[in-house]
A and B are shown apart, each in its own frame.
Chain A
Amino acid sequence: MKGRLVLAVFLLSNILCYSVKAQILTREDSLNAGLDPNHRNVILAGYGEAKVSVDQNLKTANANLTRSVLFVGYRFTPKITFFSEMELEDARVSATGGGISMEQCVLKFDLNHSNYLLAGLMIPRIGLLNENHLPITFNGNDRHFVEQMIIPATWREMGVGYYGSSSSLPGLNWSVALLNGLNASRIGFGQGIRDARFGGRDATASNVALTAALLYYRGGFRLQASGYYGGSAGFTQREADSLRLNSGLFGTPVALTEANMQFRHNGFVLKALATYVYISQAQKLNAAFASNAPQVMYGYYAELGYNLLQGTRHKDKQCNIFTRYERLDMLAAVPENGIDNDILNQQYLITGITYLPIRNVAIKFDWTHKVTGEPNPAMIFNPSPNAPPYLRVNNFYQMGMAYSF
C-alpha cells in the first residue's frame, strides 16, 4: 500500500511538473521560443482539404472531405524533438472506406546546426510532394497523379535517416535513410508499389531499403534527385523458397529513381518531375502471386503557374493560374508471364486557379482532362453484353478548399 502511495505521488508530481513546463504556444510564442535554448514547447497544428468533383462521363458529382490531419510536435530539449502527423482520410472510417493513420511519428536528434537524425515512422525525401504535401502548397485539388501512382506519396516507413546541409556550398542538402522494405505480395496491376507500403504497421524488417537524396537550392531554383532501392520479400527462407522468391535484405528488389526541379521568378513557378521504377524480378512475383506486377513503371509531369497578384498591393494573397501535364504508365513493361494493358498508360491535363486569401487558406478550381489507353479485352473476364463501352477520355470539374495552420 505504501509503495502504491509513493508511486502515485511520484506520477502526480511528474504530471504536474510537465503541465507546468509544457506550454501550448501560439505561432508568435513559438518564434520567441527560439531565443531560449532551454525552453520547452508543444506545437499543435494541422491541415486538411475537401473537394467537390463533377464527372463528365458519369454525369455525377461527388463531395468528400479528403483528409484532415492533426500535427503534434514537442521539443524535449534543444536537440531532441518529436514530430507526429495523424491523418483521417475521407471523414470517417467504415468497412467501405476511409482510414486513419499516422503519416509520421519521429524523433529528431540534432547532431549540430546542420546535421540531424530522424528515427521512427518517417517520410523519406523522394519526389516533390512526399515531404512537402501540405495542400496549400500545390495547385489543383488532387495531388499530382504521378506522385500518387508511381511515387506512392505520402510514402512513410519505419527507419532511421541522416539529414545534413553544407555550409561550404550554401543550399546543398542531403539525406540518407535506412527503411523497412516493401511487401512483395501487394505489388500488382493497377497499384504499382502503393499497396506494398507498410506505413509503419507490422512491417517486415528482414527486408530493408536504402534511400538517398540530394537537394540543392540556388537562385530561384530547387533541384532534387533521389533514389530508392529495397527488398520486397520479407519472408522466412521456407516461405520464400516455396514461392520461388529471393529473400534476404534486398531480395526481390524494387528500384526507384526520381529527379525534380522548381523554379520561381517574379510570380512564375515552373515545376517538373520524372520518375522511373524497375522491378527486376516481376516475373517471379507474377509466378508467386498472379498479381500481374509491372517490370517497369514511369511517370513525369511539368507545371507552369503564375500569380496574378504578383506585384500588386495584395502581398499576402495569391491568385495562381496554372497548367500541368502529366504522363504515366504503370505497366510500361511486363515480364513474359504478365499481361499488358494500355489502360494504365495515362495522360492528364490539369488547369485551374488556386486563390489564397491568406497564406494558410486556399480555394481551388480545376479542370482535369484524363486520357487512358485502350483496355486489353483479354483482361475483361465474362463481359456483360449490357456493359457500357469504356470511354478513354473523361473530364472532371473540381472545386475545393484547403487549409494549413
Chain B
Amino acid sequence: MKRRDFIKTGCLACAAMAAGSSLASLQSCSPMPVYKATVDQHQIIVPKTAFLEGETMKVVRSSATLYDILLVAKPNEEPRALLMSCTHFSNALVPNTNGLNCNLHGSQFDLQGAVINGPASKALKKFTVSTNEQNYLINLKNN
C-alpha cells in the first residue's frame, strides 16, 4: 500500500467514524459546564436554577470534596450524585453525555455509576440527594 493511499484511506475511515458517531448522538451535543457550589453542614447546595432548560447533568465543584461530583437530574428519575473518582486508582473522571471515562486505564461508567468497562470493578460512590423547592441538596454524610 502506498503512503498516499494509506493516508487517504485512513482519513476517509476516520471521517466516516466521526460522522457516524455524530449522527448517532447529535441530540446529546451540549456543553457540560461546572457549577461551583456552596457547602452548608455537610450538604452541597445546588440551586435548581443552575440547570438551564433541557440540562439534565451538572458537574458540581465544592471545597468539600477532592473530586467533582456529577449531579444527574433527569425528569421522572430520582436525582443522583456520583463522585467523579475512578474506583480503580482514584483518578479524576471525565464526564460525557452518556457516562464517565477514566483516561488513566480506560475504565468507563454509566450515569448510574455502574462499571461498563474495566479495569475498575466497583461502582462509583453515590451520594443521596434530597430536594426542596429551590435546591438540590447533596448529602455528604449518611451514604
Q: Are B25 and A274 in contact (CB under 8 A)?
A: no
Contacts of B108 in A (CB 8 A): 264
Q: Are A134 and B33 in contact (CB under 8 A)?
A: no
Stretch at the interface among A2-10, A34-42, A48-56, A94-102: A34-42
User: Whole-angstrom distance between the alpha carbons of A272 and B32 in the complex?
Assistant: 28
Q: Are A169 and B31 in contact (CB under 8 A)?
A: yes
Q: Are A360 and B121 in contact (CB under 8 A)?
A: yes
Contact with A along B24-65 (1 / 0, CB 8 A): 110010111110000000000000000000000001010111
| Chain A contact patch, size range | 35 or more
Contacts of B3 in A (CB 8 A): 276, 278, 296, 333
Contacts of A261 in B (CB 8 A): 17
User: A332 with B94: in contact, given A31-B83, A37-B66, A45-B89 (CB under 8 Å)?
Assistant: no
Q: Are A31 and B125 in contact (CB under 8 A)?
A: yes
Q: Are B65 and A359 in contact (CB under 8 A)?
A: no
Instruction: Count A/B pairs, Cβ under 8 Å.
Output: 163
Q: Are B116 and A264 in contact (CB under 8 A)?
A: yes
Identify which of A30, A78, A165, A263 contacts B94 (C-beta below 8 A): A165
Contacts of A296 in B (CB 8 A): 3
Contacts of A359 in B (CB 8 A): 115, 118-121
User: Whole-angstrom distance between the alpha carbons of A27 and B124 in the complex?
Assistant: 11
Q: Are A137 and B18 in contact (CB under 8 A)?
A: no
User: Which residues between 245 and 262 of chain A lie within 8 Å of chain B, taking CB atoms?
Assistant: 257, 259, 261
Stretch at the interface among A145-153, A183-191, A217-225, A334-342: A217-225
Extra pairs beyond A34-B90, A404-B119 (13, CB < 8 Å): A45-B88, A113-B34, A113-B92, A134-B105, A136-B118, A167-B32, A170-B95, A216-B21, A221-B17, A221-B21, A222-B101, A257-B10, A259-B14
The list of the 3 closest CB pairs from A to B, nearest first, reads A171-B96, A132-B106, A219-B25
